[in-house]
Amino acid sequence: LAKERGPSSIELFTPLLAERLQRKFEVASELRRAIRNDELTLNYQPQIDCKTAELLGVEALVRWQHPVNGLMSPVTFIPLAEELGLIGLLGDWVLDKAMVQMARWRDQGHPVPQVAVNIAPQQLVPGFADHVRDLLAKHQLPASMLELEITEGALERDDRIIGLLQALRDMGVLLAIDDFGTGYSSLAHIKHLPVTCLKIDKVFIDDLPDDAYDVAIIRTVSALGHSLGFRVLAEGVETEEQFLFLVEQGIDTIQGYYFGKPMEASTLEQWIIDRDKG
């Protein structure tokens, strides 16, 4: 390993490692503080039903308003939270916060039919389904208003996960496979998953409709998803051309900058009002 890193790596290894460890401890305590002090916030990105052009729901996406670093992307701190063993704490915060917002929208009469929440693999432990049930009861929300997004990586780990997902489905919670196509899932495996939606990853959307390979993938996943009874969503849709092509391929739902970026709850409320007017 040292050889691969180059000749100077042996001398550099110890101080660098110490520095890195030190920094990690700092981030861990900062992240703990952030969760406690509400430095984290959720943004919501619209998902549009292709058939009706109506708002089908939103995805909740976490942000960290760091006092020194400014607004931090989950791409940087979610993997850290996973590594530092803080993802359970963070995930619980996200779920509760999303449900507080869902209850608020319900009370205000805002038409946000469902909210999708990302779930890290480490959150799928025994007792998770009960935890979700308790939270839904606490906020008096119907289970069908909540969708949980799970990546393929979480599913390959353990067959017991399927039992857990089934328990969530039996409660009425919606389940989506996130970033579909980027991980490993055998078709035989997918058939047995109690999921309700496939979210096709942005990497397959970016070069549409020119890239023949991506076109073939979209056609295949759309057909596969529908034949298994799943809703099929395309993420990262940025252009009208992509949108029209995806509608043509029978994709059910669109999420992407073309319709709306992730936004604060109040901005989303105004976005809904403006859209209803226009």
**C-beta closer to ligand C2E: residue 7 or 70:** 70
Q: Is the distance from CB of 132 to CB of 125 less than 8 angstroms?
A: no
Number of neighbours of residue 161 by Cβ within 10 angstroms: 18
Show contacts with Mg ion in window 147-176 (CB under 5 A).
149
Single-letter amino acid code for the residue at 189: H
Q: Considering the complex, what minimum distance in angstroms separates the CB of residue 174 from ligand C2E?
A: 15
Query: Which of Mg ion, ligand C2E, none interacts with 256 (beta carbon under 5 to 8 A by kind)?
Result: ligand C2E
Q: Considering the complex, what minimum distance in angstroms separates the CB of residue 91 from Mg ion?
A: 13
**C-beta closer to ligand C2E: residue 94 or 190:** 94
Q: Is the distance from CB of 234 to CB of 256 less than 8 angstroms?
A: yes
**Residue 214 found at the interface with Mg ion (CB under 5 A):** no
Q: Considering the complex, what minimum distance in angstroms separates the CB of residue 6 from Mg ion?
A: 32
Whole-Å CA distances, 11 to 18, 19, 22, 24, 186 = 13, 14, 18, 21, 44
**C-beta closer to Mg ion: residue 30 or 175:** 175
Single-letter amino acid code for the residue at 177: I
Query: Which of ligand C2E, Mg ion, none interacts with 99 (beta carbon under 5 to 8 A by kind)?
Result: none
**Residue 179 found at the interface with Mg ion (CB under 5 A):** yes
**Residue 249 found at the interface with Mg ion (CB under 5 A):** no
**C-beta closer to ligand C2E: residue 116 or 190:** 116
Judged by CB under 5 A, the stretch of 96-104, 114-122, 258-266, 267-275 that binds Mg ion is 114-122
Query: Which of Mg ion, ligand C2E, none interacts with 262 (beta carbon under 5 to 8 A by kind)?
Result: ligand C2E
**Residue 118 found at the interface with Mg ion (CB under 5 A):** yes
Contacts of 204 (CB under 8 A, 6+ apart): 181, 214, 217, 218, 221
Q: Considering the complex, what minimum distance in angstroms separates the CB of residue 128 from Mg ion?
A: 17
Q: Is the distance from CB of 55 to CB of 272 less than 8 angstroms?
A: yes
Task: State how far the Cα of 153 lies from the Cα of 82, in Å rounded to an integer.
Answer: 14
Paired strand residues for 60 = 44, 117
**C-beta closer to ligand C2E: residue 57 or 262:** 262
**Angle (deg, nearest 10), helices 128-138 and 87-108:** 30
Query: Which of Mg ion, ligand C2E, none interacts with 238 (beta carbon under 5 to 8 A by kind)?
Result: ligand C2E
**C-beta closer to ligand C2E: residue 179 or 269:** 179
Token code pair at residue 108: 């205000």
DSSP letters for 249-262? TT--EEESTTT---
Task: State how far the Cα of 107 lies from the Cα of 201, in Å rounded to an integer.
Answer: 33
- The residues binding ligand C2E (CB under 6 A) are 45, 61-62, 73-75, 78, 91, 94, 118, 120, 149, 178-179, 235-238, 255-257, 262
- List residues near Mg ion by CB under 5 A: 118, 149, 178-179
